[in-house]
């Protein structure tokens, strides 16, 4: 194993394909621990990347990399993909105590984020910005200063089987996200809502999620989040509402359980043309409350 420290970059890989970076201890260095630029089909495995002043791992215009089983902590960003880096898999890493984001994707499509532990980062645990066709599954995001998992201006996402808890803001947060699957996530004990969709999130499927014991609502859709399907979810024991729909139309809310919330089980405000069918809402201040 190599110990790589006190350099500008720990490992710098440019225009090099089929590279394997494995089993190193990297850091501290004055910029990134591992920087990969314009490269294809590599593997970054089983590295301990700690204390770099730049990012732990950064991919720039690089495709088809496997990033797995790394410990990435005490860097600026933990793992950072940018500039149309595509078809990469980030799986089974521990990404924690980074100054900003745990895992951040900027303008990158067709990537998979799977079974990572992301905690105690200084901003979001995970954030994708302007990236479509992203799979985010089986991750655990907790105790991050911000959102656990954040999705911004991204379409055709698959977000399933994640757990987000004890984050300062919402567990899962979506902004301007369309045509996506949000299923079987567990969002609990977060500072804001469990699952929050805002501003132009349309035609999404929210199914089988559990959103409980959050400081605001369990599931919250507001500001033109139209034509979504919210079904077979459990949104109970939250400090405000179980399911809260605000200024959104043509939402189908069916076969959900919204019990024992401090305010209303299902709360609609300034929202027209919605369907509320076969839900269970017991032990709330009101079962279903409509306000125009």
**Is 73 domain-assigned?**
yes
> pLDDT at position 288, please?
74
Q: What span, in angstroms and rounded, lies between the C-alpha atoms of 285 and 292?
A: 18
Radius of gyration of the chain (CA): 20
pLDDT at 287: 76
Query: Is 214 part of any domain?
Result: no
* Res 290: pLDDT: 66
Domain annotation covers residue 16:
yes
Instruction: Print the domain residue range for 41.
Output: 1-119
b/e sequence 265-279, b meaning 16+ C-beta within 10 Å:
bbbbeebeebebeeb
- Residues 89, 114: contact at Cβ < 8 Å? yes
CA-wise closest residue to 133 among 194, 88, 77, 183: 88
Cα–Cα distance, 154 to 108 (Å, whole number): 10
Q: In this structure, is residue 142 part of a structural domain?
A: no
d(CA 71, CA 33): 12
pLDDT of residue 76: 99
Secondary element (H or E) of residue 4: strand 3-4
Domains in the chain, number? 1
Residue 173 domain-assigned (yes or no)? no
Q: Is the pTM of this model over 0.75?
A: yes
Tell whether 250 is covered by a domain: no
Would you say residue 9 lies in a domain?
yes
**Residue 263 placed within a domain:** no
Distance CA 77, CA 148 (A): 15
- Rounded CA-CA distance 127/158 in Å is 14
Cα separation, 102 vs 27, whole angstroms: 17
Integer Cα distance of 132 and 107 in angstroms: 8
**pLDDT tens by residue, the chain, 292 residues:** 799 999 999 999 999 999 999 999 999 999 999 999 999 999 999 999 999 999 999 999 999 999 999 999 999 999 999 999 999 999 999 999 999 999 999 999 999 999 999 999 999 999 999 999 999 999 999 999 999 999 999 999 999 999 999 999 999 999 999 999 999 999 999 999 999 999 999 999 999 999 999 999 999 999 999 999 999 999 999 999 999 999 999 999 999 999 999 999 999 999 999 999 999 999 999 877 666 5
């Amino acid at each position: 194993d190599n110990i790589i420290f006190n350099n500008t970059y720990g490992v710098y890989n440019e225009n090099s394909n089929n590279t394997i970076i494995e089993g190193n201890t990297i850091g501290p260095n004055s910029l990134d621990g591992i920087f990969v630029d314009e490269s294809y089909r590599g593997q970054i495995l089983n590295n301990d990347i700690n204390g770099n002043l730049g990012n732990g791992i950064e991919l720039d215009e690089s495709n088809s990399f496997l990033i797995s089983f790394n410990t990435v902590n005490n860097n600026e960003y933990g793992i950072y993909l940018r500039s149309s880096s595509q078809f990469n898999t980030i799986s089974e890493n521990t990404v924690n105590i980074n100054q900003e984001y745990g895992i951040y994707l900027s303008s990158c499509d067709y990537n998979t984020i799977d079974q990572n532990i992301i905690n105690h980062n200084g901003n979001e645990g995970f954030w994708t910005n302007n990236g479509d066709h992203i799979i985010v599954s089986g991750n655990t995001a907790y105790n991050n200063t911000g959102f656990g998992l954040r999705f911004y201006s991204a379409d055709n996402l698959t977000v399933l089987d994640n757990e987000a808890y004890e984050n300062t803001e919402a567990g899962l947060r979506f902004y301007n996200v369309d045509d996506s699957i949000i299923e079987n996530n567990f969002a609990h004990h977060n500072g804001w809502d469990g699952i929050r969709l805002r501003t132009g999130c349309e035609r999404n499927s929210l199914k089988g999620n559990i959103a409980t014991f959050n400081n605001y609502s369990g599931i919250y859709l507001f500001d033109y989040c139209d034509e979504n399907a919210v079904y077979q979810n459990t949104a109970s024991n939250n400090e405000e509402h179980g399911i809260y729909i605000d200024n959104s139309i043509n939402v189908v809310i069916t076969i959900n359980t919204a019990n024992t919330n401090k305010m209303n089980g299902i709360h609609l405000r300034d929202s027209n043309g919605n369907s509320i069918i076969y839900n269970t809402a017991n032990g709330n201040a009101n079962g279903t409350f409509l306000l125009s």
